[in-house]
Chain A
Amino acid sequence: MAGWVLCVTLVLAALAGVEGESRYEKFLRQHVDYPRTSTLAAHRYCETMLARRQVTAQGRPCKPSNTFVHAPAQDLVAACSREPDASGFQSTPTAMGITACRLRGGDTRPPCAYRARQVQHHVRVACRDGLPVHLAGTYAPPQ
């Protein structure tokens, strides 16, 4: 993924997501951060990442919650070859590091402030053409 670059054009009457981005690329942009980015202020991981990944931006309301998965994209792609569950989603065979970002406060206007929770969870994805396109949720490993 090093050197992977997308160009974004924002027109005044904005647009949904990034022009020319596939759903898999969007999934990676919004949900995969591997290795976990070390941010200048560790407690601002969510704010920094969501801004860099163009989820939060001026003129966009703050996203109420977002999960970042700290595993190589390949591991999530591999989940797509597993047996889907009753809802049609596939889970990763092992738990992975994730950061769950939840909006705090009471304002949807930037600057967006988040609370981060780091856990080891299985990740559930929806796949299309063998690639993850949707993060359906995460769950703790069954005890």
Chain B
Amino acid sequence: MCAPVGGKCRAPCVRQQRLRGNGSREAPALPSSLPGRHREQGLISTVKMELDIQCEEMSPSRWAELLTTMKSCKTIRLDDCNLSSSNCEDLSSIINTNPSLTELKLNNNELGDAGVEYLCKGLLMPSCSLQKLWLQNCNLTSASCETLRSVLSAQPSLTELHVGDNRLGTAGVKVLCQGMMNPSCKLQKLQLEYCELTADIVEALNAALQSKPTLKELSLSNNTLGDTAVKQLCRGLVEASCNLELLHLENCGITSDSCRDISTVLSNKSSLMDLSVGDNKIGDSGLALLCQGLMHPNCKIQKLWLWDCDLTSASCKDLSRLISTKETLKEISLIDNNLRDSGMEMLCQALKDPKSKLQELWVRECGLTTACCKVVSSALSTNKHLKVLHMGENKLGDAGVELLCEGLLHPNCNIQSLWLGNCDLTAACCATLATVMTTKQCLTELDLSYNPLEDEGIRKICEALRNPSCNVQQLILYDILWSAEVDDELRALEDSKPEVKIIS
């Protein structure tokens, strides 16, 4: 049994993670020995040979311990563990001597170019069969790109490279693109978010895309590309023979100007299932243009992210047509667009169409009020496919939720995950929510965060949770004020029903 500083431990200690104060990673004093037990830390699944550690400072002895474990791991994730280039030397030999290692995630460690240099020594060995490499936010610069290029050219086993959040720049990524051009490179997924790329990168990218029929996923989010570059990229994508499945261009400086070209990609690439243009001011006019491609029979889009795109209710006519006719569309995110009740009403009409196969709808922070809840309710009592509904950050109020619950209770409704955070809810609506929890076996996840439910409301929810016919597994209650007594009640409830997680 572990005996840590400053807190109680539950028995048995299966996993242990250390918490840092103030965002720093001071390693707390560890018990020097645990009687008769192998001290396990982080997440080591010995069956699956996966090492998964996040936010843990590594003492030299701890590192030595882990290295032994890593020798036989299939996947290694060491995220924000204060690793540096010196750790990379060790990792390099692990890569070299562990033929079963397929996945290496080292995000959020200041490895620097020197660190990557070491890593790549191991990566370049013929014995290395690494498939997935994550080096996000590792303080890399363009100087790393030459070495990464060699890896891309030499390792056909490498199918995924995630190097976002590094100041690689256009010059650096141009070098990466050269690596991709090598026929030995069989890259499938490339993630270049926040890499300080500019419009100039597109020429090199297009050349790489032409040569890479294996490429399935491309993310260029959070690079100031602009319309001209994005249009050029779209032309390149259409010409390329790759069966692109995912394209993420969030916050790329796209306006309605690019939407016709993005539309062309949609109507040409039936392989494209996942498109995100969130955080770009495309507006209603841009959305109208996008819909031309989205509605095209060739387009088999499944997941569409249009969050914070400056859309208003005017876009909802086109969005409704999309939802009710595009049977491949499973998920749509419209967060932070001023759709308003009138817009939501149109979307709900679409949800009532039997052709709609939408499973997940995100309308968080869309300017909705109680007024739209009747129509939403009506949609919920008709639609059998919708599984996940995010309506947080809208002033729905108790009255609104009461109306929603009517629809939720309908036998047709199959909602599994419901998010109503910060919706101006009080204890008054909790009785009805409790009824939904104990009636709808399909409901497994419920978020009521940031609502002033108070002790009275929380107690009603707890009562529902205790009920054996309640199937809720995750109850999310962030930022709600309750008393110490209710706090104890919640803990006791979790102890008595271990399949339930109360997250706060």
Pairing of A with B: yes
Q: Which residues of A contact B (CB under 8 A)?
A: 1-21, 23, 29, 33-34, 37, 39-41, 43-44, 48-49, 51-54, 57-58, 60-61, 63-66, 87, 104-106, 108, 115, 126, 128, 133-136
Contact A7–B18 (Cβ < 8 Å) = yes
Q: Which residues of B contact A (CB under 8 A)?
A: 2, 4-10, 12-26, 28, 43, 52, 54-55, 79-80, 108, 110, 137, 139, 165, 194, 222, 250, 276, 278-279, 303, 305, 307-308, 331-333, 335, 360, 362, 364, 392-393, 417, 419, 421-422, 445, 447, 449-450, 452, 474, 476, 478-481, 484, 487, 490-491, 494, 498-499, 501-504
Contact B165–A41 (Cβ < 8 Å) = yes
**How far apart sit A7 and B15, CA to CA, in the bound complex (Å)?**
11
Nearest residue (CB) in A for B417 is A108
Query: With A16-B501, A44-B165, A64-B449 given, is the CB distance from A52 to B23 under 8 Å?
Result: yes
**How far apart sit A12 and B40, CA to CA, in the bound complex (Å)?**
13
B354, chain A: closest CB distance, angstroms: 24
Contact B80–A106 (Cβ < 8 Å) = no
**How far apart sit A7 and B9, CA to CA, in the bound complex (Å)?**
8
A contact residues around B335 at 8 Å (CB): 104-106
Query: With A9-B2, A23-B487, A104-B279 given, is the CB distance from A136 to B481 under 8 Å?
Result: yes
Contact B481–A18 (Cβ < 8 Å) = no
A contact residues around B494 at 8 Å (CB): 15-16
Contact A16–B10 (Cβ < 8 Å) = no
A115, chain B: closest CB distance, angstroms: 8
Contact B54–A41 (Cβ < 8 Å) = no
**How far apart sit A65 and B393, CA to CA, in the bound complex (Å)?**
10
Contact B7–A8 (Cβ < 8 Å) = yes
**How far apart sit A54 and B21, CA to CA, in the bound complex (Å)?**
11
Contact A52–B80 (Cβ < 8 Å) = yes
Among A2, A21, A57, A106, the most chain B Cβ lie within 10 Å of the Cβ of A106
A contact residues around B21 at 8 Å (CB): 1-6
A138, chain B: closest CB distance, angstroms: 12
Query: With A16-B490, A21-B7 given, is the CB distance from A133 to B481 under 8 Å?
Result: yes
Query: With A29-B19, A33-B23, A52-B20 given, is the CB distance from A5 to B10 under 8 Å?
Result: no
**How many residue pairs, one in A and one in B, have C-beta atoms under 8 Å apart?**
184
Nearest residue (CB) in A for B421 is A64
A contact residues around B393 at 8 Å (CB): 64-65
B contact residues around A63 at 8 Å (CB): 449, 478
Which of A11, A20, A33, A126 is the one whose CB lies under 8 Å from B481? A126
- List the 7 shortest-distance A-B pairs measured between CB atoms, nearest first: A106-B333, A7-B4, A20-B7, A37-B23, A13-B498, A5-B28, A134-B481
Contact B22–A1 (Cβ < 8 Å) = yes
A contact residues around B450 at 8 Å (CB): 65
A contact residues around B108 at 8 Å (CB): 40-41, 44, 48
Nearest residue (CB) in A for B248 is A105
Query: With A5-B28, A7-B9, A128-B484 given, is the CB distance from A135 to B479 under 8 Å?
Result: yes
Contact B19–A64 (Cβ < 8 Å) = no
Which of A5, A6, A37, A41 is the one whose CB lies under 8 Å from B137? A41
B contact residues around A52 at 8 Å (CB): 20, 23, 25, 55, 80
**How far apart sit A22 and B24, CA to CA, in the bound complex (Å)?**
20
Among B22, B360, B419, B421, the most chain A Cβ lie within 10 Å of the Cβ of B22
A contact residues around B2 at 8 Å (CB): 7, 9
A contact residues around B422 at 8 Å (CB): 64-65
